[in-house]
Structure 1
Amino acid sequence: MAQVRQEASQRLFDLAEQQQGYFTTKQAKAAGFAENTHPYHVQVGNWIREHRGIYRLARFPATDRPDLALWSLWSKNRKEEVEGVYSHQTAISLHELSDLNPAKLHMTVPPNFRRNSEIPGVLILHHSHLAESDIQSGPGYRYTRPLQTVVDLIEDGTVEKNFIRQAARQAVDRGLITRQQIQKATMSEPAREFIEEAISRAAK
């Protein structure tokens, strides 16, 4: 019996390790923890309940951006698929492009994304389809690649254009955005013109 518990604990740790120490109720059950034992693990201090259906291993080492892993898990659908992708101001910050320092987390979710409960106040949701080629992975979360991030900010129109120009130029200087990527990408004509202008200025 002790070995069974130990094996379940190891499975849960291996999974949570990929998600900055976080895991869902369903993941804990899949690892071997019956749902009626979850309150016990919270009570004795093994787990910390962070949100409805989401826990964190109490002894897991502190990480830089645990909030990103937490709300990524919150965006899972009933099939346990993560639907949220960090984008816009949050993604530009993760890429360390421009001086933007957003107070809230911007996340793009599919157009049919629905939640029965209230959307957490820390999140700003954008509804759109994203191609897998426009997404990259961080520790326990996903976020948009530099070009898609810049396009999102241009088309959203809620950030000063000087910030977006700064981000585009820095991305070009660092080789994160190339002319070939721009040519292949799907975007509005105004967005394309804006980026082309930023690239031409950066080249001078």
Structure 2
Amino acid sequence: MPLGGRPLSRDALLDLAEAQNGLVTRQQAIAELEIDPTAFDALVARGRLERVARGIYRYPRVPGVEYEGYQVALLRTGDADAVLSHETALAIHDISDVNPSRYHVTIPRAHRIRRSDNDRYVIHVQRLPTRQVTWWQQMPIVTPAAAIEQCMAYGTPTYLLRQALDRGARTGAVPRAELTRLTEALERRA
């Protein structure tokens, strides 16, 4: 630590990156960690940070590349309350053979996300109660039951949702009370 007890900016940045699968955003560095924009740009120029997507950078010393796509999907929203959801969550929980072609992320408040790669992402707006959110690989994700419910509303094919309910029941991923409610809702939808 330098004199005065405040950690160096790069140390705080490393701590943040470790909590986010090796990734940080320029906005986080400047707004949350109070890193000078010029200092941040210098870290990028010297190769201490590698650009992954617009405004999102990888700290090369930190592992996490395996799940990088999911972390980018969360960070690109600019919303600290973003969670992996819908078909993405269903696939991660491995209770259905759903194979989403885009990342699904839910944020609590609508706001415009200006990015050139929007075709790779589906942003949903929904306030989620804390009981519907869990963690996977250091990232917030909806529970299996919440993912099934979201996918019903989104229009995911019924056979994939029946599969999710069956596997969720067998593995215990979907609690019995939720299973009954979701099964009835799916039958009404079908």
Place the TM-score, normalised by the shorter chain, in its bin: 0.7 to 0.9
Aligned-partner Cα distance in 2 for 1:58–1:41: 12
Mapping of 1:78-157 within 5 angstroms? 82-110=80-108, 112-117=110-115, 120-157=118-155
Alignment match, 1:7: 8
Residues 102-132 of structure 1, C-alpha deviations (whole Å, 9 max, x = no match): 1211122235332345562210122322222
Residues 48 and 55 of structure 1 are in contact (CA less than 8 Å); yes or no, is this contact kept in structure 2?
A: yes
Q: Secondary structure at the match of 2:8?
A: helix
Root-mean-square deviation (CA, aligned residues, Å) is: 2.7
- Partners of 2:74 and 2:160 lie apart in 1 by 26
Structure-2 residue corresponding to 1:70: 72
Tell me the amino acid that sits aligned with residue 143 of structure 2. R
2:176 equivalent in structure 1: 179
Show structure 2 runs of 5+ residues with no match: none
> Is the aligned partner of 1:165 residue 2:130?
no
Identity %: 25
Check the 8 A contact 2:81/2:108 in 1, yes or no: yes
What is the TM-score with the length of structure 1 in the denominator? 0.77
Residues 18-61 of structure 1: CA deviation (Å, up to 9, x unaligned): 10111122432344631112222112111012233322112322
Report the secondary structure of 1:65's partner residue. helix
Amino acid at match of 2:136: G
Instruction: Report what 2:19 is aligned to.
Output: 18
Given residue 170 of structure 1, which amino acid in structure 2 is its aligned partner? R
Against the structure 1 CA distance between its residues 73 and 107, is the aligned structure 2 distance closer, same or farther, given a 3 Å change threshold?
Answer: same
CA distance in 2, matches of 1:140, 1:23: 14
Change (3 A) 1:169 1:115: same
CA offsets, 1:117-174, max 9 Å, x none? 55622101223222221111223421110111111112222x2211111111101111
Q: Alpha carbons of 1:181 and 1:39: their partners in 2 closer, same or farther (altered >3 Å)? A: same
- Which of 1 and 2 has greater Rg? 1
Q: TM-score, normalised by structure 2?
A: 0.82
- Structure 1 segments (4+ residues) deviating >4 Å: 2-6, 116-119, 194-197
Separation in structure 1 between the aligned mates of residue 143 and residue 63 of structure 2, nearest angstrom:
28
